């Protein structure tokens, strides 16, 4: 069982050989996920010379392992963001991210990206009555900033999801779903079509600044540019010349059924929404263009965790969708999420002419696209005022490994307990 997105991506893998020469550019980008590819596309569209270096393949990291939910905003609700950043800075970030799904779907349409875009909204589902109280709190905060969300009851939620046992849901019509790997590939393909140099299997081995330009070295080549964007996020591999702060990481796994027939699938998410719940250890579910049911959750299905997490998933599927009890999963994959201490992404300015973006905390598609475009613009025109969040010269977190272990331990304990009671 492998990654479904790799099998079904409408955008083919790019033919992007490793960097094997010295190239000069206006902007060098390290990382070929949503952030890096969106930055390359925007900069190339402005006529800038761009080189993007990806250590593996475009979308290899979290971008190609994503659930595919295109959400407006962060994991934190708006007032919590303002409490964390301050009223003015938080309002600026909230306003920018409110329009991020429009940016994603607009790029997909404009550049003909074959990423199965469905703009039917998302449903944040209450896994229990306590979860419904949390959704009411979120709805109040979202309404206060003008978000067109609507709280629906248990009966309406059951009709819209086909799922059992949910106490209600918060519908956000601004949001939707995409095939995430295809979207990442499509951004990179569109950037290449506009002249950007895209190089895969181009692991950066060192970095230094000479005479006002960054010299980015790979095993067989070098890129030289006065401006640099590091967009490696949870998959950053350290290299000499620049220290990118560590954050905690959590693993998120997904399993997909075979395409469901008309009879068994007709009642499941008939409107095409993507869903996630309010559980302490979050669960997501959605369908793809072929009608598969995709179930995801926090947890590392390795190092002894596979049997536990996959066993929980089979029980959870049967509890949410009794008609699918016993249905087999034919795809399974997982990816890492970079989680900052306060769940707010960061832009680091490690030196003049360089930015590093990281820490989307599970909201990579729309924020990553927005941050990538904004970072490219700020680097090229030298004006940081349009960035969604103010860059910092220094950033550090403590106990990142301990927090990572805490997330996985919590996921295993919760999944073991839920499995015992039938998920």
Contact residues for 169 (Cβ-Cβ < 8 A; gap 6+): 123, 124, 125, 126, 135, 151, 152, 156, 157, 160, 161, 275
pLDDT at 370: 98
| DSSP bridge partners of 24 | 224
pLDDT tens-place values along the chain, 423 residues long:
899 999 999 999 999 999 999 999 999 999 999 999 999 999 999 999 999 999 999 999 999 999 999 999 998 999 999 999 999 999 999 999 999 999 999 999 999 999 999 999 999 999 999 999 999 999 999 999 999 999 999 999 999 999 999 999 999 999 999 999 999 999 999 999 999 999 999 999 999 999 999 999 999 999 999 999 999 999 999 999 998 999 999 999 999 999 998 878 889 999 999 999 999 999 999 999 999 999 999 999 988 899 999 999 999 999 999 999 989 999 999 999 999 999 999 999 999 999 999 999 999 999 999 999 999 999 999 999 999 999 999 999 999 999 999 999 999 999 999 888 776
Q: What is the DSSP secondary structure assignment for residue 392, as one 8-state letter?
A: B
Please state the φ and ψ torsions of residue 252, each to the nearest 5 degrees.
-130, 125
Contact yes or no for 320/164 (Cβ under 8 A): yes
Could you tell me if 367 and 347 are in contact, meaning their C-beta atoms sit under 8 angstroms apart?
A: no
Smallest CA-to-CA distance from 199 within 335, 53, 50, 340 is with: 53
Residues 6+ apart with CB under 8 A from 297: 252, 253, 281, 282, 283, 284, 309, 312, 313, 316, 411, 415
Give pLDDT, residue 264: 82
Q: Identify which of 264, 269, 304, 281 has the alpha carbon closest to the alpha carbon of residue 128.
A: 281
Reported pTM:
0.97
Quote the pLDDT of residue 1.
Answer: 81
Q: Which two tokens stand for residue 73?
A: 């905003």
Please give the pLDDT value at position 42. Answer: 98
Q: What is the per-residue DSSP string for 316-367?
A: HHHHH-GGGTTPPEEEEEEEEEEE-TTS--EEEEEETTEEEEE--TT--HHH
pLDDT at 419: 85
Which 3 state secondary structure label does DSSP give 76?
coil
Tokens read off for 221: 């080549």
Beta strands in 56-128 (DSSP E): 69-70, 122-126
pLDDT at position 189 is 98
pLDDT at 349: 96
């Amino acid at each position: 069982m492998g990654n479904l997105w790799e099998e079904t991506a409408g955008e083919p893998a790019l033919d992007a050989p490793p960097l094997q020469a010295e190239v000069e550019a206006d902007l060098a980008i390290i990382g070929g996920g949503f952030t890096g590819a969106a930055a390359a596309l925007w900069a190339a569209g402005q006529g800038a010379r761009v080189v993007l270096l990806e250590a593996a393949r475009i979308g290899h990291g979290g971008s190609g392992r994503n659930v595919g939910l295109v959400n407006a905003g962060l994991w934190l609700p708006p007032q919590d963001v303002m409490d964390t950043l301050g009223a003015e800075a938080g309002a600026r970030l909230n306003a920018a991210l409110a329009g991020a799904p429009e940016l994603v779907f607009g790029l997909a349409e404009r550049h003909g990206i074959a990423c199965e875009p469905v703009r039917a909204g998302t449903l944040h589902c209450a896994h229990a009555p306590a979860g419904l109280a949390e959704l009411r709190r979120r709805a109040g905060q979202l309404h206060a900033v003008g978000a067109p969300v609507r709280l629906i009851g248990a009966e309406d939620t059951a009709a819209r999801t086909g799922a059992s046992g949910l106490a209600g849901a918060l519908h956000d019509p601004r949001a939707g779903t995409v095939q995430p790997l295809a979207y990442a590939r499509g951004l990179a393909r569109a950037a290449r079509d506009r002249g950007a140099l895209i190089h895969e299997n181009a692991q950066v081995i060192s970095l230094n600044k000479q005479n006002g330009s960054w010299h980015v070295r790979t095993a067989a080549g070098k890129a030289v540019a006065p401006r640099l964007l590091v967009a490696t996020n949870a998959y950053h591999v350290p290299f000499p010349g620049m220290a990118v702060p560590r954050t905690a990481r959590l693993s998120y796994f997904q399993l997909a059924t075979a395409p469901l027939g008309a009879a068994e699938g007709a009642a499941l998410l008939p409107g095409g929404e993507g869903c996630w719940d309010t559980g302490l250890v979050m669960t997501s579910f959605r369908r793809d263009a072929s009608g598969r049911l995709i179930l995801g959750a926090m947890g590392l299905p390795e190092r002894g965790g596979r049997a536990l997490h996959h066993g929980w998933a089979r029980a959870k599927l049967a509890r949410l969708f009794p008609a699918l009890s016993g249905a087999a999963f034919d795809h399974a994959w997982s990816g890492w999420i970079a989680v900052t201490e306060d769940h707010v992404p960061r832009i680091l300015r490690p030196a003049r002419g360089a930015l590093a973006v990281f820490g989307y905390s599970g909201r990579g598609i729309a924020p990553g696209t927005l941050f990538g475009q904004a970072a490219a613009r700020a680097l090229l025109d030298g004006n940081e005022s349009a960035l969604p969040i103010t860059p910092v010269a220094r950033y550090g977190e403590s106990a990142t490994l301990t927090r990572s272990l805490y997330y996985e331990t919590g996921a295993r304990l919760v999944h073991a307990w839920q499995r015992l009671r039938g998920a």
